[in-house]
């Protein structure tokens, strides 16, 4: 029997969603912290780990799908709220801006104090969440220990958060919203195909991966799941999502094994159709995890994954600059004791991971939590159905990254 959210939850947030978010951040951390440039003739194990790591960029797409799902559900459920826009934008502002700008201003201040500089317009891109509107990598500072290039994904999400409430408020009905999602998501795929085969990506390789117009489909696909579980399709979607996930995952893995890697830059298949299939696969995984009788729900309710999910936003903000800052500090002593490239990569990665976790936990408990408590001033006074309360609690209880 398939138990849906409507008949199996009790108004608390959904543990599996925290676990999915934890999975997403762990994939990103593995990608960024365990980077290695293997010798083609070196150890098979090192090359295997390097190839696996090179595919874990997909964690960003899992974040996109989760965000699209959660935010679309919240927005649709609160359409009748008197303070629809005030509550949504107020809560998003409290969740996202304080940590982002506190970190950005901190590293800018430290940079100037140590004799480095920030460049314009590069710095302005980061200050305005518009790095993802540039087709090229944005250079903002000459400080070697600062690495904020991954903030492009936060920019994509922030632009989505600004525009999507207006679209849902204007369209109102599930049918119209779903139609808009299908049209825009299809257009996004067609845009990537155009960029790839018109030669644009040869000049601007990041246009297909980190340029906002090329990346909105994953967020929208997540939104489509949110609408589906609020419709007559809820039961079949949750019942058969596992099969859709396994099919999509098998296809993606098979291609990666056949091609030798699964990287969107420079790969016409992965960078176009592959991103769409990836979004659909993660959306299926999300839906399968919402079926509380499934093995997926049990796996992603694991307390370790939920722990990383809880602190995922801080981890995403801090980890890359922390890695860059610790490279010179850790490199020489680790090389002197490991005498192995594999051990060096693993030791360095786990030390930075531990430091990132510590800072993210302290940041959440002693900085973010106090700010998040202000969300009580942006309360939705409109009663929601049981399913809607669950989804609302899930997004409000979790970090967005």
Classify residue 338 by burial, with Cβ atoms within 10 Å: 0-12, 13-18, 19+. Answer: middle
- Whole-model pTM: value is 0.90
Tell me, yes or no, whether 271 lies in a domain: yes
Tell me, yes or no, whether 120 lies in a domain: no
Rounded to whole angstroms, the maximal C-alpha distance in the chain is 65
Distance separating alpha carbons of residues 326 and 358, to the nearest angstrom? 15
pLDDT at 43: 66
Distance of CA 381 to the CA centre of its chain: 30
- Please report, in tens digits, the pLDDT of each residue of the chain (401 residues total): 455 444 333 335 789 999 999 999 999 999 999 886 655 555 677 677 777 888 899 999 999 999 999 999 999 999 999 999 999 999 999 999 999 999 999 999 999 999 999 988 889 999 999 999 988 778 888 898 899 999 999 999 999 999 999 999 999 999 999 999 999 999 999 999 999 999 999 889 889 999 999 999 999 999 999 999 999 999 999 999 999 999 999 999 999 888 877 887 778 899 999 999 999 999 999 999 999 888 999 999 999 999 999 999 999 999 999 999 988 888 778 877 877 777 888 888 999 999 999 999 999 999 999 999 999 888 765 544 444 444 444 444 433 43
Domain with 105 in it? 5-115+144-396
Q: Roughly how many angstroms between the first and final C-alpha of the chain, as a whole number?
A: 34
299, 348, 354: which is closest to 324 by C-alpha? 348
How many CB atoms are located within 10 Å of the residue 350 CB?
12
If one counts the domains in the chain, the total is: 1
Those residues whose C-beta lies under 8 Å from the C-beta of residue 304, and which sit 6 or more positions away, are 22
56, 394, 70: which is closest to 256 by C-alpha? 56
Tell me, yes or no, whether 267 lies in a domain: yes
Tell me, yes or no, whether 284 lies in a domain: yes
Angle formed by the axes of helices 15-33 and 59-77, nearest 10° = 150
Tell me, yes or no, whether 124 lies in a domain: no
Tell me, yes or no, whether 131 lies in a domain: no
Tell me, yes or no, whether 123 lies in a domain: no
Distance separating alpha carbons of residues 317 and 368, to the nearest angstrom? 13
Tell me, yes or no, whether 301 lies in a domain: yes
Question: What DSSP string describes 161-191?
Answer: HHHHHHHHHHH-SHHHHHHHHHHHHHHHHHH
Those residues whose C-beta lies under 8 Å from the C-beta of residue 73, and which sit 6 or more positions away, are 226, 230, 388, 391, 392, 395
Distance separating alpha carbons of residues 368 and 238, to the nearest angstrom? 34
């Amino acid at each position: 029997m398939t138990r849906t959210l409507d008949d199996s939850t009790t108004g608390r947030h959904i543990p599996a969603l925290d676990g999915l978010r934890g999975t997403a951040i762990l994939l990103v951390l593995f990608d960024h912290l365990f980077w290695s440039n293997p010798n083609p003739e070196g150890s098979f194990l090192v090359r295997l780990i390097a190839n696996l790591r090179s595919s874990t960029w997909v964690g960003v797409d899992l974040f996109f799908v989760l965000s699209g799902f959660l935010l679309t559900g919240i927005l649709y459920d609160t359409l009748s709220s008197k303070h629809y826009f005030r509550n949504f934008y107020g809560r998003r502002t409290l969740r996202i801006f304080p940590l982002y700008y506190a970190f950005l201003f901190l590293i800018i201040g430290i940079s100037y104090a140590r004799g480095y500089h920030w460049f314009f317009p590069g710095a302005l891109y980061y200050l305005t969440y518009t790095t993802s509107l540039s087709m090229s990598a944005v250079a903002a500072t000459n400080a070697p220990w600062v690495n904020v290039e991954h903030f492009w994904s936060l920019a994509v999400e922030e632009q989505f958060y600004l525009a999507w409430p207006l679209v849902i408020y204007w369209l109102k009905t599930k049918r119209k919203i779903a139609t808009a999602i299908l049209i825009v998501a299809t257009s996004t795929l067609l845009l990537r195909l155009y960029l790839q085969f018109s030669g644009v990506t040869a000049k601007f390789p990041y246009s297909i991966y980190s340029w906002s117009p090329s990346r909105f489909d994953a967020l929208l696909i997540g939104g489509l799941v949110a609408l589906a579980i609020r419709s007559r399709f809820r039961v079949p979607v949750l019942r058969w999502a596992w099969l859709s996930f396994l099919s999509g995952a098998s296809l993606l893995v098979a291609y990666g094994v056949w091609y030798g890697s699964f990287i969107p830059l420079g790969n016409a298949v992965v960078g176009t159709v592959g991103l769409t299939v990836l979004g659909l696969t993660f959306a299926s995984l999300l839906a399968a995890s919402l079926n509380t009788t499934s093995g997926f729900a049990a796996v992603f309710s694991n307390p370790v994954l939920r722990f990383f999910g809880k602190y995922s936003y801080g981890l995403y903000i801090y980890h890359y600059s922390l890695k860059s800052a610790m490279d010179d500090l850790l490199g020489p002593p680790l090389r002197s004791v490991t005498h192995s490239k594999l051990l060096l990569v693993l030791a360095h990665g786990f030390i930075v991971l531990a430091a990132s976790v510590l800072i993210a936990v302290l940041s959440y408990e002693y900085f973010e939590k106090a700010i998040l408590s202000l969300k009580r001033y942006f309360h939705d006074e409109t009663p929601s159905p049981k399913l809607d309360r669950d989804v609302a609690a899930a997004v409000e209880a979790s970090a967005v990254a």
